[in-house]
């Protein structure tokens, strides 16, 4: 039997497995290694960190994948030749699919190594626990105020700021005055959400400000000091909680494996091949100049799953082509802005479309029953 090893059970890894043709199981043993027993819906992690949702973001991997796949919970450390070394064992492979996702990139910004992040379920939960225990200190009058600084006004920063402002205010009701909590969103570029046009920037800023979030654009973070966050314009922000969502890189396993890489991402060709018998998909792959998103991760996984048989047999496989359907940014549970199929959207329609994109993944994993609640 050919050994196909899949590293990472995120959108890319699970899309790969979900799209494998039946014939592949006759000639290959498929093994999936993931750090946790659960898959987390990464695009919902800002909600976990803000206290808007919790277990809804988790899926038991064993229950959503084909029973013929050998599933191993372990942490991958490095890859050498045709062997993957994990914390507890080593695995040989004939074909390797690397789908290990992303990590925080601080670009050397001093003091940010220990900032909070929204990169995994566990780290998002740690952030939520820190914030809510500080909310409780406000309620118990053990502290006077709370300054939360979110560095990075891209999709995850804006989504987190919006969700936290809404959920925090709900939690504070009858417990303490939410005006004691200052949420500041800091962005180095002239505008937040740089992938959208002027109209949507303005709309997103307005919604955030109405939720009580202070938006600072043109404000590059220089470093984190004891006094707080130092900006390039020399302003210093008080910061009890610092969240860094200003950059991502691929996975450190790529560095450990001494592969040629671009910020821990692997450059792949039009069949998503990195080299020889190694493929990379999702955020850990660099395909042309496309930004890493869940959308492209799912499409890469589906493409490779459907075509791996042809690629193994050395037959001509179609080239991967990315269909960008757009991106929607939620700002709290009741507001959203976005662009789909080239059209700007906002209001209830955007909220509905965002819900639909999130549910689409639930349905892919669990079937149509997932629409009616999990
Ligand atoms: C808050 C937030 C909101 C977002 N919203 C959107 C959105 O609305 N739309 C969109 O398209 N994109 C969105 N994104 C981006 C999207 O989540 C990523 O592009 C996507 O998760 C990439 O999928 P992936 O499968 O490559 O990696 P991941 O989803 O990160 O999965 C990687 C998997 O590998 C596992 N893993 C990692 N390291 C190891 C190891 N050493 N050993 C074993 N297993 C390991 C992890 O546990 C995980 O299961 C958002 C991201 C964030 C953080």
The DSSP string of 46-70 is: HHHHHTS-SGGGEEEHHHHS-TTSE
Would you state the pLDDT for residue 255?
97
CB of 241 shorter than 6 A to ligand 1: no
Q: How many CB atoms lie within 10 A of CB 113?
A: 11
The neighbour count for residue 278, using CB atoms within 10 Å, is: 19
Q: Which of 52, 103, 117, 159 is catalytic?
A: 159
- Phi/psi for 337 (5° steps) reads -135, 155
Phi, psi of 27 (to 5 degrees): -120, -10
CA geometry: angle 169, 212, 246, nearest 5 deg? 100
Identify the residue whose C-alpha is closest to ligand 1 atom 48.
10
CB 254 within 8 A of CB 264: yes
Closest residue by Cα to atom 14, ligand 1, is 43
203/211 Cα distance (integer angstroms):
12
As a whole number of angstroms, the distance between CA 79 and CA 276 comes to 14
Q: Is 105 a catalytic residue?
A: no
Pocket of ligand 1, candidates 75, 101, 285: which has the most ligand atoms within 8 Å of its Cβ, to mutate? 101
The span from the CA of 340 to the CA of 269, in Å, is 27
Could you tell me if the CB of 91 is within 6 A of ligand 1? Answer: no
Q: Which two tokens stand for residue 98?
A: 């690397």
ipTM of the prediction greater than 0.85, yes or no: yes
Position 149 scores a pLDDT of 98
Q: Put the strands of the sheet holding 83-86 in their side by side order.
A: 76-80, 83-86, 90-92
Answer yes or no: is the C-beta of 99 below 6 A from any ligand 1 atom: yes
Closest-CA residue, ligand 1 atom 20, reads 294
Calculated CA dihedral for residues 11, 12, 14, 15, nearest 10 degrees: 100
Cα–Cα distance for residue pair 371/297, rounded to 1 Å: 22
Please list, in sequence order, all residues whose beta carbon lies within 8 angstroms of the beta carbon of residue 186, skipping any fewer than 6 positions away.
Answer: 149, 150, 151, 152, 153, 216, 219, 221, 229, 231, 237
157 lines ligand 1 (CB under 6 A): no
In order of start, what are the domains of the chain with their CATH numbers? Answer: 2-35+74-102+250-323 (3.50.50.60)
* Atom from ligand 1 closest to the CA of residue 293: 19
Q: Name residue 214's beta-bridge partners.
A: 184
Atom 46 in ligand 1: residue holding the nearest Cα: 8
- Closest among 254, 294, 250, 286 to 270, alpha carbons compared: 286
pLDDT tens string, the chain, 374 residues long: the values are: 999 999 999 999 999 999 999 999 999 999 999 999 999 999 999 999 999 999 999 999 999 999 999 999 999 999 999 999 999 899 999 999 999 999 999 999 999 999 999 999 999 999 999 999 999 999 999 999 999 999 999 999 999 999 999 999 999 999 999 999 999 999 999 999 999 999 999 999 999 999 999 999 999 999 999 889 999 999 999 999 999 999 999 999 999 999 999 999 999 999 999 999 999 999 999 999 999 999 999 999 999 999 999 999 999 999 999 999 999 999 999 999 999 999 999 999 999 999 999 999 999 999 988 887 76
């Amino acid at each position: 039997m050919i050994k196909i090893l899949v590293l990472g059970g995120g959108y890319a890894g699970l899309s790969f497995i979900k799209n494998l043709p039946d014939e592949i199981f006759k000639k290959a043993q498929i093994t999936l290694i993931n750090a946790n027993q659960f898959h987390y819906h990464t695009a919902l992690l800002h909600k976990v960190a803000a206290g808007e949702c919790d277990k809804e973001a988790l899926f038991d991997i064993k229950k959503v994948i084909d029973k013929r796949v050998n599933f191993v919970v372990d942490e991958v450390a490095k890859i050498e030749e045709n062997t993957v070394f994990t914390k507890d064992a080593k695995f040989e492979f004939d074909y390797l699919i690397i789908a290990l996702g992303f990590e925080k990139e601080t670009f050397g910004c001093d003091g940010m190594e220990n900032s909070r992040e929204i990169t995994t379920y566990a780290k998002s939960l740690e952030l939520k626990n820190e914030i809510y225990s500080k909310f409780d200190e406000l309620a118990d009058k053990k502290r006077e105020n709370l300054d939360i600084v979110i560095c990075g006004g891209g999709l995850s920063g804006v989504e987190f700021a919006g969700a936290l402002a809404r959920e925090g205010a709900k939690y504070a009701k009858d417990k303490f005055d939410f005006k004691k909590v200052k949420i500041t969103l800091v962005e180095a570029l002239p505008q937040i959400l740089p992938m959208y046009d002027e109209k949507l920037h303005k709309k997103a800023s307005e919604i955030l400000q109405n939720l009580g979030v202070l938006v600072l654009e043109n404000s590059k973070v220089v470093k984190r000091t004891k006094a707080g966050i130092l900006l390039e314009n020399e302003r210093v922000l008080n910061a009890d909680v610092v969240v860094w969502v200003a950059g991502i890189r691929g996975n450190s396993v790529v560095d450990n494996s001494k592969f040629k890489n671009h910020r821990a991402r692997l450059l792949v060709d039009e069949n998503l091949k990195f080299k020889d018998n190694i493929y990379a998909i999702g955020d850990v792959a660099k395909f042309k100049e496309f930004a890493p998103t869940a959308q492209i991760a799912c499409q890469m996984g589906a493409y490779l799953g459907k075509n791996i048989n042809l690629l193994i047999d050395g037959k001509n496989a179609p080239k991967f082509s990315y269909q960008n359907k757009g991106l929607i940014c939620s700002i709290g549970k009741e507001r959203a802005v976005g662009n789909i199929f080239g059209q700007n959207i906002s209001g209830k329609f955007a909220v509905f479309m965002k819900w639909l994109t999130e549910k689409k993944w639930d349905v892919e994993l669990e079937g149509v029953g997932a629409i009616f609640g999990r």
